[in-house]
Every structure is written in C-alpha cells, then in structure tokens.
Amino acid sequence: MSWLGNLKEKVGTPSQWYSDFTRTPVWKSIFRHKLPNDPKNRALVVLTNVFLHLHPVRMRKQGLRVSYTWCMGGISFFLFLSLTVTGILLMFYYRPTAQHAYPDMLDLMESASLGIMREMHRWGAHLMIITVWLHMLRVFLTGSYKPPREFNWVVGVLLLVLTLLFSFTGYLLPWDQLAMWAVTVGSNMARATPMMGAEGPGMQLMQLGDVPLITAGSDVRFVLLAGRFVGEGALLRFYVLHCLGIPFIFVILLAVHFWRVRRDGGISGPGKGGKLAL
Amino acid sequence: MIELLKGFMNGLFQPAIALTLTIVLVSALYKFRRVVTQNKLVASLVVASPLLFFFVSAFDENFWIQFKRPDNIPIAAMMFLVVFFTWFALKLAVDNDDRIRDGRPPKEAEPEEEEKVFVWPDLVYSELLCLLLVSILLVVWSILIPAPLEEPANPQLTPNPSKAPWYFLGLQEILVYFDPWLAGVIIPTFIVIGLMAIPYLDTNPKGNGYYTFEERRSEIFLFQFGFIVLWVFLVFEGTFLRGPNWNFYGPYEFWDPHKLVPLTNVQLSEFIWARWLGIGLPSFWLVREFFGIVLMLVYFIALPVWLASSFLRKYFEQMGLFRYVIFSHLLLWMVLIPIKMYLRWTVNLKYFVAIPEFLFNI
Ligand code: HEM
C-alpha cells in the first residue's frame, strides 16, 4: 500500500494546505503580515487593514471593559451597518410612488424569499435609537465629554439627531395609515415654526407690502413635504432623504466621530486628558 | 380584589401622580444609592421592576392589546434597559466613591487597568462577540415578530389616536401643555442645543473618565431628570397611557373612544381679570396679557439674576456670566415643562400668555 502513503504525502494535511496557501502570491498580495500571534504581526494586522485601522494598535485595558463602555457605540455602529445592508436589499423591491409603495410592501412580505429583511430593518432601527440613547447615557455618566472630548460629544449629538431623522423619514415609506399619520402629526409641528411656518408666531411680520410671504404654500412645512399635506411629493422627498441624503451626512459625521475618538486619546480614562481628581 | 388593585394602579398612572412618582423614584434611587446597589434583594427588585410590571400586566387583556403591538415591544425593552443601565452605572459609581473616600483611586485608575493590550485579538474579539449576539437577537426577533403593515394610507381617514413615531411621543405629550411652536419647534431645538452645550457648560473637572456620583451630584441628577423623567417616562406615557383623542387611559383601562374628559382650561388673563379683579377681559392684547408678560419676564430675566446670588451662586461663580446666562435659561426652560404640567393638572391653567392675534402663546 505504499502508493497510498505516497498519495498522502503528496496531498498533505489541511494545515499544510493552509501554510502552502499563505505562501502563494495571491495571499501575499492581500495580507501583508504573518499570522497575528506575536507583537509585530498583531500591530501589522491592524495597521495594514483599512477596516481594523479604525482602531489603535494597542489600548488601555480599561477601554476594553464592557462594563465601562457597555459596547453601546460599537453596537450602534453595527446596527447601522446591518441597516445599510437590509436597506439596500429592500430598495430592490420598493418604488417610492403612491401607486406602488404599499403594494410593493405587500409583495415583499408575501413573496420575497428570505422574508425577514423588512423585520430586520424595522426592529434594527428601533433598537439603534435605544442603543444610541444608552451610548449617550454612558458617555455622560463616565464624564467622557469633558476635555479633550467636548467636540466629539457635539458630533455625537448630531449623530443622534440624524439617527432620529433616519427613522422618521423611513417611517413614511410603507405608505400605510400608521406611516402617513405619524408623519402628518410630526410634520404639523413645522407649521408653527416662528417666522417660517404658516401658523407660527411672527408670520405676520413676513410680508412684502400686502403680500404675505409665509403661507401654507410656502412655509417650511411645504418645503419638507413638497405639498400642503403628506402626499406623493413627500413620499419621494422622504425616500431620497432616507436612502441618500441622511446617510451621506451620517457617514461623514461617523468618520469624524471615530477619528476623534482616537485623536482625543482613545476611550476615556482617569489617567488621560482629565486630571485625576483625588 | 384584582379589580381593586387594577383600579388602584390605573389611578397611580394618572399623569400627575405618575410624573411625581417618577421624580420621587429617581431621587430615591440616587439618595439611597448604597442600599439600592449593595443590598441584593433591593437591587434585584429595582432591576427587575420593569420586567415584573410588563410581565404581570400582560395578563390584563386591555394592557395586552397595547403591549402586543409589535412597535411597542422595543419600548418595553427600553424601559428595562434604561433602568438596568442606570442602576449598573450607579453601582460602579458607588464602588468608586467608596474607593475615593478611602483615598484610593477609582477602579478605572488601577495600574492593571492602565496596562496596554493589543487590539488584535482582545478588542476585535469582544467586538465580534457583540456583533454575533446582536445579530442573533435581531434575527430571532425578526423571525418571531412580523413587522406591522396597516391599511393603505388614506388622507381622508384620520386614525384616532394619531401618534407620532414612538421616540417623539415625549414631544407629543408636551404638546398638551404647550403651543406647537414651543412643543414642536423651540423645545426640541433647545434640547439639541442644550445637549451640545453640556461639555462647555460643565466646568467641573472631576469625574472625567470614570464612574462616580459624589463628585458630580447635580450634573448627574440634572441629566437623569431630563433623560428619565422628561424623555423616557413621557415616551412611556405617550405609548401606553394615551389613547383616543390623546386622552389618558390607565394601563388596565379599555381604550374607549367615547371617554369624555371635561376641557375646562383657563388662561392666566381670565384668572386675573375675570376671576380675581371681577372686571371683564380688556380688549387690547397688551393690557389683557400684561400680567402674563410680566410673569414671563420675571421668570426668564429676574429669576436667573436672583438665582445667581442664591441657589446657583456656586455655578455663577464657577461659570462666569456668559455661560451662566445660557445655563440658567436652558435650565429654566427645562423646569418650565413640569411646572406647566402641574399647573394644568391643579388649576387647569392653559397659557400664561395667550395672544392668538400673533399666534403667540406660552
Ligand atoms: C449613531 C450614533 C453613534 C455611533 C455609531 C457612535 C459610535 C461610537 C463608538 C464606537 C465609540 C467608541 C467607544 C464606545 O463604543 O463607547 C464612541 C465614543 C464616543 N461617543 Fe459615540 N456614537 C454615536 C453617537 C453618539 C452620541 C449621541 C454621543 C453623545 C451625545 C456620542 C459621544 C461619544 C463620545 C464623547 C465618545 C468618546 C467616549 C470615550 O472616549 O469614552 N456618540 N462612539
């Protein structure tokens, strides 16, 4: 049976396959380091990978503790990514017109395979709002907004506002009663904007001679809804904002947020930045 | 017996009582923080209280109707998470406060915590674990509970109640007490500006990078008052306790759309001119609203000046004039919300200043 032994030698074991494979030009062109089990390669794995590069190479042990960060920022970010993926899948099935939007939702629920994309998107969105609030709570309670991290807190607040706007614009898209009336209630507020809403204080001041500048057909609510009520214009506007406008700003702010976490000295701690008050 | 208990609970959740109770409970949590975090029985009771409430209540059919709406499930989850994390942070804070009192550094400053570790694999590993857990949660949740889809949108058919998305229900609740230009525009703007201003207003250098309560009592209490009382509680109320016509319904009460609630709100001007002075309302708005306007000027201008020399003296001295002006105004706006609520509940006050001529009501 020596031919079998020969064959075994030629084919090799899985660990040999792996080490052979890591020696191929293809592998070497992708990964610029060896297995990350020594300090040098552990540094390289972070430095040479654009995604891991969000992280520093080394950090204080305390910043690692889940009891300290609750991992809430990370979970919010992960939910954002998962919402992006499910959102893209949903876009394949959805047309933002009064005629198609609702039937498309029905189709999506009844006939699309892997039929939990809508659920994952909706529950993920609710969850993200909660995790962002909790992230803010932990940043507050650890005093992590104190110098030098003041500005990153401000960026965070903007991210929070955008998270809410994300959800608000998305709420309209199913085009059912819940959607239409929730957005009606929400956008009615804009009517009362001082100086800029048709029923807001000071709108009488906004006149040119006898011609009122601010009317139901020209106030901020009209701009938001592209009409006097929540109709097809609003649907398109909200769709574009939801899928393109808000993500565009969000991603930029997210980049700033992560960049600043590192620039400001990593996860906050008593030794860093803040004077240890004893 | 059970009916009696349910009736009692319904009464307990009456907005005036529930808001007061929430304030009392949050205060008690911080006041008795040692017991709450160190006595195992009390601790478990506090942490489990939202779960207990939702679990027991779910047996009531009226509560179940509201609870089982798929969009309300995250709100129930949020109540639990907010209580848990508030408690958890308090526990870490109490531990640190004890250490600091003994002259030791907070736990976060122990030498071993300062030790540097490699991000790969330590951090990447916990991130992956978090990611897996959240994915599993999300997938299971999505399989178990389908997303709701109601009747197609119909501009002719207004549902009752019409509710904003759940995270804005706190604002919709404030809308009961304030004109839309305040509840829908000014107050949200101030919330956002106020949040962004926190790092620049808080001049206390202590408590940077570790959990503590005793080094930042007022800051933490103020923040939690805004977050738990004026935001999370109002979201809860708007979701579970506000039914048709935005009327109040106890948690175990049936949402009867014909429930009649007398509307007898009175303007401040009517109180003064008609009830107290016994003469009719003057027709010119400036005269009519004179007292209300003066009251507001006193509240927003004289009161901060007086506070600067009394209760908030410490802050005034630490912050300097400019910061203090901004801080005191944000604070006064925040406090105006519960003040207005209580005035509505006790004396049916509608507006301090009501000038419908200019669509201007406070
Ligand atoms: C979409 C929303 C957000 C995402 C994805 C996000 C993500 C993150 C991540 C991943 C971190 C690293 C540490 C951690 O996980 O706790 C972080 C830190 C931080 N975040 Fe956020 N964040 C968001 C919103 C906010 C909000 C609303 C605030 C405050 C109002 C905020 C303020 C901060 C600050 C000050 C830090 C530094 C904390 C420290 O050094 O300990 N972020 N954020």
At A78-130, the pLDDT tens digits run 999 999 999 999 999 999 999 999 999 998 888 766 678 999 999 999 999 99
For residue B309, the CA-to-ligand 1 centroid distance in Å is 37
What is the rounded average pLDDT for all residues in chain B? 92
Q: Is the pLDDT of residue A275 over 50?
A: no
Query: CB–CB of A277 and B199 under 8 A?
Result: no
Helix (H) or strand (E) segment spanning residue A10: helix A2-11
At A21-71, the pLDDT tens digits run 888 999 889 888 888 888 888 888 888 888 888 888 888 888 888 999 999
Q: For chain B, how far is it from start to end, CA to CA, in angstroms?
A: 44
User: Residue A203's pLDDT is what?
Assistant: 79
Whether B77 has its CB under 8 Å from any CB of chain A: the answer is yes
User: Residue A114's pLDDT is what?
Assistant: 64
Query: CB neighbours of B242 closer than 8 A, spacing ≥ 6?
Result: B161, B163, B169, B173, B248, B249
Task: State how far the Cα of A238 lies from the Cα of A260, in Å rounded to an integer.
Answer: 30
Of A100-114, A123-137, B165-179, B264-278, give the range with the top mean pLDDT: A123-137
Considering only A205-214, B255-264, B317-326, which range has the smallest mean pLDDT? A205-214
Cross-strand partners of B349:
B266
Query: CB–CB of B184 and A189 under 8 A?
Result: yes
Q: Is the pLDDT of residue A4 over 80?
A: no
C-alpha A52: how far from chain center = 18
**What tokens does A45 get?**
């794995």
CATH T-level assignment (fold) for domain A59-263: Cytochrome Bc1 Complex; Chain C (1.20.810)
Among A135, A144, A246, the mutation site with the greatest number of ligand 1 atoms within 8 A of its Cβ is: A135
**What tokens does B118 get?**
């490699």
Task: State the residue for tokens 């240890």.
Answer: A276
**How big is chain B, counted in residues?**
362
Q: How confident is the model at residue A278 (pLDDT cuts 50, 70, 90)?
A: very low
Whether A252 has its CB under 8 Å from any CB of chain B: the answer is no
The whole-angstrom distance between B235's CA and the closest CA on chain A is 12
Helix (H) or strand (E) segment spanning residue A137: helix A117-141
Task: State how far the Cα of A192 lies from the Cα of A186, in Å rounded to an integer.
Answer: 12
User: What average pLDDT does range B124-139 have in this prediction?
Assistant: 94
Q: What is the pTM of this model?
A: 0.93
At A116-167, the pLDDT tens digits run 899 999 999 999 999 999 999 999 999 999 999 999 999 999 999 999 999 9
Query: CB–CB of A52 and B119 under 8 A?
Result: yes
Whether A142 has its CB under 8 Å from any CB of chain B: the answer is yes
Residue of B nearest to A269 (CA): B209
Task: State the residue for tokens 């938001």.
Answer: A224
At B311-345, the pLDDT tens digits run 999 999 999 999 999 999 999 999 999 999 999 99
User: Residue A276's pLDDT is what?
Assistant: 39
Contacts of B212 in chain A (CB under 8 A): 143
**Is the N-terminal amide bond of B15 cis, ω within 30° of 0?**
no
**Which residue's alpha carbon is at the smallest distance from atom 25 of ligand 1?**
A156
Whether B301 has its CB under 8 Å from any CB of chain A: the answer is no
User: Residue A274's pLDDT is what?
Assistant: 41
Q: How confident is the model at residue A273 (pLDDT cuts 50, 70, 90)?
A: very low
User: Residue A277's pLDDT is what?
Assistant: 35
Within 102-141 of B, beta carbons closer than 8 Å to A belong to 103, 105-106, 108-109, 112-124, 126-127, 130-131, 134-135, 138-139, 141
User: Residue B265's pLDDT is what?
Assistant: 86
Q: Is the pLDDT of residue A1 over 80?
A: no
Mapped to the 3 state alphabet, what secondary structure does chain B carry? CHHHHHHHHHHHCCHHHHHHHHHHHHHHHHHCHHHHHHCHHHHHHHHHHHHHHHHHHCCCHHHHHHHCCHHHHHHHHHHHHHHHHHHHHHHHHHHHHHHHHCCCCCHHHCHHHHCEEEHHHHHHHHHHHHHHHHHHHHHHHHHHCCCCCCCECCCCCCCCCCCCCHHHHHHHHHCCCCCHHHHHHHHHHHHHHHHHHHHHHCCCCCCCCCCCCHHHHHHHHHHHHHHHHHHHHHHHHHHHHECHHHCECCCCCCCCCCCCCCCCCECHHHHHHHHHCCCCCCCCHHHHCHHHHHHHHHHHHHHHHHHHHCCCHHHHHHHCHHHHHHHHHHHHHHHHHHHHHHHHHHHCECCCCEEHHHCEEC
At B19-58, the pLDDT tens digits run 999 999 999 999 999 999 999 999 999 999 999 999 999 9
Q: Is the pLDDT of residue A174 over 60?
A: yes
**What tokens does A260 get?**
């600043």
At B190-207, the pLDDT tens digits run 999 999 999 999 999 999
User: Residue A113's pLDDT is what?
Assistant: 65
Sign, CA torsion B29/B35/B38/B44: negative
Q: How confident is the model at residue B2 (pLDDT cuts 50, 70, 90)?
A: confident
Q: Does the interface predicted TM-score (ipTM) exceed 0.85? A: yes
Among partner residues B124, B186, B215, which is closest to A277 by beta-carbon distance?
Answer: B215
User: Residue B323's pLDDT is what?
Assistant: 95
Structure-derived torsion over alpha carbons of residues B304, B306, B308, B314, reported in degrees to the nearest 10: -130
The shares of helix, strand and coil residues in chain A, as percent rounded to the nearest 5, are: 65, 5, 30
Please report, for chain A, the start and end positions of each structural domain, with discontinuous segments joined by +.
14-58, 59-263
Q: In chain B, what percentage of residues exceed pLDDT 90?
A: 74
Helix (H) or strand (E) segment spanning residue A250: helix A246-263
**Which residue's alpha carbon is at the smallest distance from atom 13 of ligand 1?**
A73
Check: CB of residue A176 under 8 Å from CB of residue B150: yes
User: Residue B120's pLDDT is what?
Assistant: 83
